[in-house]
Amino acid sequence: MDDWEKAGKIAAECLEYGLSLVSPGVNLMHLAVHIEKKIIQLGGKPAFPVNLSLNKVAAHYAPLMNDETEFKKGDMLKIDVGVHVNGCIGDTAATIGGNKKLIEASRKALEKTIPLCKPGTELREIGKVINETIESYGFKSIKNLSGHLISEYNLHAGFSIPNHNNNDSRKLQEGMIIAIEPFATDGNNGLISESVPSNIYLLENPRPVRDPTARKFLKYIKEEFGTLPFAARWLENKFGPLGFGLKILVKEGIVRSYPQLVESSQGIVSQAEHTIRVGKIPLVLTKR
């Protein structure tokens, strides 16, 4: 088993574990901490903070240390788990709760793309299948979110895998690692817009910083997370309350702060995602 296969297997197991912990009243911080612990127990590292996005939030929510957000009966929760083993990344997501038909729409759309993950398939063919499948359930595919090519230590390593036919005629090639992630919504728009901060960050532009706290954080971020996204909570674990250190890094353009992505007509959103190795026989690396 190579590191891609190991990372995929751990990601799948941790997603399954996360889903098993969800019941009304469960605290999202508790969920995130347990899933991330499991990743490490199984020999991986988080490739990004576990995303726990509720209802109209499609993606990019990571709880903070003192977060009291709970999963309530009727909520729709997306759990998106990323694991890396020596930089080889497994990225996988599923939705639990509320609207079963909406969950089934994104799950089925993902399932139908797997046989297409062969050399020569055009990217738009994948998008077309996703969009048509989701529409057949009476929902909308979110067109401005997409899957992505993955390479070592790089989650978004080139082209996007569209969630609709966007006319991209570039082709999949043997051995590529790709994440496919359909999002389905009952909203009218099928588009997300950027909302409030997510507590997820990325080192974008490392350069010297004057403030001593910010400098200390920057050193740790470089060493521990490098080019991969990280959670404010991980810095809190190491340094305690963050004060202004992280804010300074963001303000100076050294660290990027990700916004939460919310369906723009306030629709509820479901997501399904696998990491797949392209081949004559496609290999679903995150198969549960």
Instruction: Determine which one of 36, 80, 125, 186 is catalytic.
Output: 80
Q: Any catalytic annotation for residue 156?
A: yes
Neighbouring C-alpha atoms within 13 Å toward the C-beta of 7: 28
Q: How many CB atoms lie within 10 A of CB 257?
A: 17
**Catalytic pick among 13, 36, 125, 181:** 181
Quick one: 277 exposed, middle or buried, by C-beta within 10 A (0-12, 13-18, 19+)? Answer: buried
Our CB check for Mn ion shows the closer of 39 and 93 to be: 93
Q: For residue 273, indicate whether it is catalytic.
A: yes
Binding mask 253-282 for Mn ion (x = CB under 5 A): --------------------x---------
**Would residue 75 show up in a list of annotated catalytic residues for this protein?**
no
In the complex, minimum distance from the CB of residue 179 to Mn ion, in angstroms, rounded to a whole number? 4
Q: Is residue 80 within the footprint of Mn ion (CB under 5 A)?
A: yes
**What is the nearest approach in angstroms of Mn ion to the Cβ of residue 273?**
5
Please answer whether residues 198 and 60 qualify as being in contact, where contact means their C-beta atoms are separated by less than 8 angstroms.
yes
Give the start-end residues of each E strand in the chain: 45-54, 57-59, 76-85, 88-97, 140-141, 147-150, 160-161, 177-180, 183-185, 192-203, 230-231, 255-263, 269-271, 274-277, 283-284
Count interface residues toward Mn ion (CB under 5 A).
5
User: Catalytic pick from 84, 148, 164, 274?
Assistant: 148
Residue 141 in 3-state DSSP?
strand
Smaller CB distance to Mn ion: residue 183 or 217?
Answer: 183
Least gap, CB of 275 to Mn ion (angstroms): 8
Q: Pick the catalytic residue: 91, 125, 186, 263?
A: 91
CA atoms of 264 and 268, how far apart (whole Å): 10
* Complex with Mn ion: residue 48 or 139, whichever CB lies closer: 48
Task: Give phi and psi for 155, each to the nearest 5.
Answer: -75, -35
Active site (annotated) includes residue 16? no
Least distance (Å) from Mn ion to the CB of residue 180? Answer: 9
Contact (Cβ atoms closer than 8 angstroms) between residue 190 and residue 143: yes
Q: Is 179 an interacting residue with respect to Mn ion (CB under 5 A)?
A: yes
Quote the least distance from Cβ 86 to Mn ion, whole Å.
Answer: 19
Residue 145 as a binder of Mn ion (CB under 5 A): the answer is: no
- For residue 34, indicate whether it is catalytic: no
Q: What is the CA radius of gyration of the chain?
A: 18
Judge residue 174's burial from the number of C-beta atoms within 10 Å of its C-beta, 0-12 exposed, 13-18 middle, 19 or more buried: exposed
* Stretch in the footprint of Mn ion (CB under 5 A) among 4-12, 106-114, 133-141, 175-183: 175-183
Chain centroid to CA 87: 16
Binding footprint of Mn ion on the chain (CB under 5 A): 80, 91, 93, 179, 273
Residues annotated as catalytic are: 80, 91, 148, 156, 181, 273
